[in-house]
Structure 1
Amino acid sequence: MARPSDFWRNLIRELMTERGVSMRRLGQMTGISRKAIGRFVKGQSTLSMDRLETLLAVFGYVLDVVPRKEARPCL
């Protein structure tokens, strides 16, 4: 099973490819360094949730919390 960070890493990489956005351009648009973006998409580091949200916003996505249908309340 893939780690959650792999999902986000792959999504950002795919969106960059689909939209033709370079790491340099994404950095300019978000204020996140090109090096930090590069390390993240290569699996060499992680990003904070707020930085991930910033990257996703460029592509029109937001992070959201959705309850699982099979989840049972713990109380």
Structure 2
Amino acid sequence: MKALRAGDPEQVGPYRLVGRLGSGGMGSVFLGRSRGGRTAAVKVVRPDLAEDRGSAAGSSGRSPRSGV
């Protein structure tokens, strides 16, 4: 895990981001922690892809194959 960079979000939904796990063509993955202490990998999709309603994730960020 690497430190957050300048410009990285500090929070996404209920998760406070504590570090950067990686990045790729679609965006960045962060380690997030909920108020209750639960950890999760939080993927933030690049803005140009998030606007593309024809992408696999669509506007909801959910995969149509898995429903997650």
TM-score, normalised to structure 2's length? 0.24
Report which of the two has the higher share of strand: 2
The structure with the greater share of residues assigned to helix is: 1
- Give TM-score scaled by structure 1 length: 0.23
Bigger Rg, which one: 1
Relative contact order higher in (CA < 8 Å, ≥ 6 apart): 1
